Amino acid sequence: MSIEIKKSKKPIEYVKAINFLEERIDKMLKKKGRELMWILEHPSIYTAGTSYKENEILDKSIDILKTNRGGKITYHGPGQLICYFVLDLNNRNKDIRKLINIIEITIIETLKKYKIKSLSDRKKIGIWVRQNKKTKKVAAIGIRVKRWIAYHGFSINIKTDLKKYEKITPCGINHKNLINLCSIKKQNYSNLSSELIKNFLKNLKS
């Protein structure tokens, strides 16, 4: 089954994007839709996954949108690349761990292209870099599976406003342990999405 590639130039509202993903799932369950990979950006929003805790909201004045994805509380906004997908794991041995590995490898390979060394951690999901003897998170992963169709995806902080994370405990870690690509290395990241798509499609076939 071929995968539809979708890239949005203008920011897409979070709820609108998730509704689109769920509509695609329904179509796929009826054998009427294609798998999807969608690159986009969201306007500023805080979202809470299924395992979040109330004490992770440090600023009680902010609005939090509760979602059905896995994971805890995070922030989405300008300067952050979002990669959503809808993938049929019925055709991929129903292996969720393998899908997560594919995402991790894809991000690591892509950042390597930009001379940035990154790593995964089995105990702390996401992609990390070491800077000044500290390990900091540069990419987050959150997945939900419905009848073996996986959706949601991952995000990479390129030049996100990291001060927004001070209002929450993002993904269960201290906000000081987050970092932007532009803080690691100032360079042109305009082709990052194309590299991600190329590597993701390659790794899905492996």
Residues serving a catalytic function are: 171
**Residue 15 per-residue DSSP state:** H
Return the closest-CA partner of residue 155 out of 77, 93, 86.
77
Note whether 77 and 43 are within 8 A (CB).
yes
Note whether 143 and 192 are within 8 A (CB).
no
* Angle of helix 192-205 versus helix 96-113 axis, rounded to 10: 140
Residue 20's alpha-carbon distances to 24, 110, 191, in angstroms, are 6, 27, 25
Note whether 142 and 149 are within 8 A (CB).
no
Chain-centre distance of CA 5, in angstroms? 16
